[in-house]
Structure 1
């Protein structure tokens, strides 16, 4: 646990030094920042078809004081997210940060402890910027071995408990067993599945918009 606290604190000083220089937002404007991988970057789709873009549309209807900024990058690992988050926090000054990362770590078989430390750094940076966090989890296929898949999935629960964040355990849960919901690579959801992902995320996110 000491490693998580240290890692979570590493990004905070650099953020504090630059907050005054961040671009001013319109009065009353609040921001949801999404830090994700290809699952949130609308890989293989038009940007407007992805669940994050659909979230923006829903916010404009139901919570018009809020906007969404999609800082997701296809192929992103937790290490990449940890290296980028301070800059994104400086630029956008979010009130809520959605962290949807880890799938690429798992697909590459990267050590689960390092994934946990990277995610902890991101959560710590967001909290240091006075933003609430929604941690969005992922699961790995069983071919990676039971020990790995259990440790990978357990990272999200452990971090949510340690840092008292909101948690959505598995982004793809509503479509995971529907082969027709995925593109030809069997990894990325099709456009028609994106509203289902948004409906899955929304109940975990909306309480943070108060």
Structure 2
């Protein structure tokens, strides 16, 4: 498709990556963070996308819920929510985590912002009941809110010493690259939803 000014180019979408240190990029240079690597990968595949780093190290779901309004801009077309790891590390009641994420997803839904929810898994040493409750809240919320769902943000990276920093918790640059490669198809699904939403609203 062409315009009088040359080839048609879709308007650039703004994706908000909203989360904790896994998004913010603890211990990484800015170019190695998840938002930066994701933006580069999407652009390499021809997507006109800006990925905004809305990560804040140390955030629990409660902290994320409290700052969502501040992080959201009118220009945001879609959001990737990556929260809950700190809840699990602190042993926060999964019912509290569920309530906070439910509120975050509900607020984004009210604003008409398509969402990709990235799941987390509790440390196995938290006990079977805690693990089952925590791990199960993500697919349940994804169904309830009809969002794009990626079951485990750290798939292929968690517990792999070569892909994590010395603390064994935060991915290194290579680990982030694996995360981006794995989650990319789901982000492309999100982009498709965002473009359809923009067309409907426009």
Is the aligned partner of 1:135 residue 2:117? Answer: yes
In the alignment, the residues of structure 2 paired with residue 157 and residue 64 of structure 1 have an alpha-carbon distance, to the nearest angstrom, of 27
- 1:67-106 aligned at under 5 Å gives the runs 67-89=50-72, 91-106=73-88
Q: What TM-score, normalized by structure 1, do the two folds share?
A: 0.82
Is the aligned partner of 1:30 residue 2:13? Answer: yes
Residue segments in structure 1 that go unaligned for 5+ positions in a row: 1-26
Aligned twin of 1:178: 160
Question: In the alignment, is the contact (CA less than 8 A) between 1:107 and 1:140 conserved in 2?
Answer: yes
In the alignment, the residues of structure 2 paired with residue 109 and residue 176 of structure 1 have an alpha-carbon distance, to the nearest angstrom, of 18
Is the aligned partner of 1:55 residue 2:38? Answer: yes
In the alignment, the residues of structure 2 paired with residue 72 and residue 151 of structure 1 have an alpha-carbon distance, to the nearest angstrom, of 25
Residue segments in structure 2 that go unaligned for 5+ positions in a row: 1-9, 193-202
Question: In the alignment, is the contact (CA less than 8 A) between 2:18 and 2:53 conserved in 1?
Answer: yes
Q: What is the Cα deviation at residue 175 of structure 1? A: 1.7
Q: What is the Cα deviation at residue 178 of structure 1? A: 1.8
Give secondary structure in 1 for the equivalent of 2:23.
coil
Runs of 4+ in 1 over 6 A off after TM superposition: none
Size of the alignment, in residue pairs? 183
Q: What TM-score, normalized by structure 2, do the two folds share?
A: 0.86
In the alignment, the residues of structure 2 paired with residue 61 and residue 200 of structure 1 have an alpha-carbon distance, to the nearest angstrom, of 15
C-alpha root-mean-square deviation of aligned residues, in Å? 1.5
